Structure 1
Amino acid sequence: MRVLDFLFSPPRASKRGCRAAALAAAMGAAAPALAANYEFLAAPETDLNRVYRLDRATGEIGACQYGLKEGTVGVTLCYPSGEGAGPQASSEYSLIASRHEREGGVFRVDLRTGMMSICYVLNESVVCTPQAR
């Protein structure tokens, strides 16, 4: 008997608990696939504690870093999307860091079209250059 036949066949008293467990397991297996909406990447600069956040579907990018604040353990400073860093055409985006140890920015790449831009923090927001190939 195929799994779908088993799951959706008329209920039998002895199989009801097994069918519910199998359906719950199948639904639980699909949940992790929905959780991967964002990608995170540290800036390649070796003395910078900045992490970039990318929405994989829209290409929107932001960044956060640790900051000192007297009398506390510190604060998380986050930079919103600025010019060119907001939502792009719907696609499949990823982040890539260069190997340049003094580079504070990262590349945003469109995996479907091959277009890319460099994104970095400028004046309290994340900005990105126009996309190019």
Structure 2
Amino acid sequence: MRPILPTLLVCATLSAPPALASSYEFVPAPQNDLNRMYRIDKVTGEVTSCQYGLQESGGGIGQTVCFGAGEGAGAQPPSEYGLVASRHAREAGVFRVNYRTGEMSICFVLVKKEQVVCTQQSRPGAEATEGVQTGRTGPSATPPQGGRP
């Protein structure tokens, strides 16, 4: 007679889901008249996006239009990534944040190229490097927020 316990352990191991399966986070664009949703792979930081699109012919219910990862939106070094939407009602992009390093970048859809693109990862207080700007470079187009009038 064979022992049942080792056989049960083998069966349980084979039917278990992979422990390292990718997990995703989804965040809507803050723009209140845009039906766009961003997705990030929480381990690799890759950002993609989808939105609803009208069907030009056929009178159907429409279609899901998705944008793949373009420049800067592809996989980053493995870490713990997330997406944060601002509260700016006219902003179509989101922030990609690295919770382990504190780095951030801005990601948005370039509709003409049909891609999500992201700026280079940076963090406040980090030394300025080529292509990364710290602080303001000119007057802000965003009105002051949260202060007294």
* TM-score bin (small chain): 0.7 to 0.9
**Alignment match, 1:38:** 24
Matching residue within 103, 119, 126 for 2:91: 103
Does residue 83 (structure 1) correspond to residue 71 (structure 2)? The answer is: yes
Deviation string, structure 1 residues 65-117 (Cα, Å, up to 9, x no partner): 00000322111100011110000011110010101011100000001000000
Q: Which runs of 5+ in 2 are unaligned?
A: 124-149
**Alignment match, 1:130:** 120
Output the CA distance in 1 between the equivalents of 2:107 and 2:23.
19
Does residue 63 (structure 1) correspond to residue 53 (structure 2)? The answer is: no
Structure 1: which 4+ aligned runs deviate by more than 3 Å?
31-36
With structure 2 as the length reference, what TM-score do the two structures score? 0.67
Q: Which runs of 5+ in 1 are unaligned?
A: 1-15
Output the CA distance in 2 between the equivalents of 1:33 and 1:102.
39
Name the aligned partner's letter for residue 98 of structure 1.
S
* Superposed displacement of residue 51, structure 1: 0.3
Give the RMSD, CA atoms, in angstroms.
Answer: 2.2
Name the aligned partner's letter for residue 71 of structure 2.
E
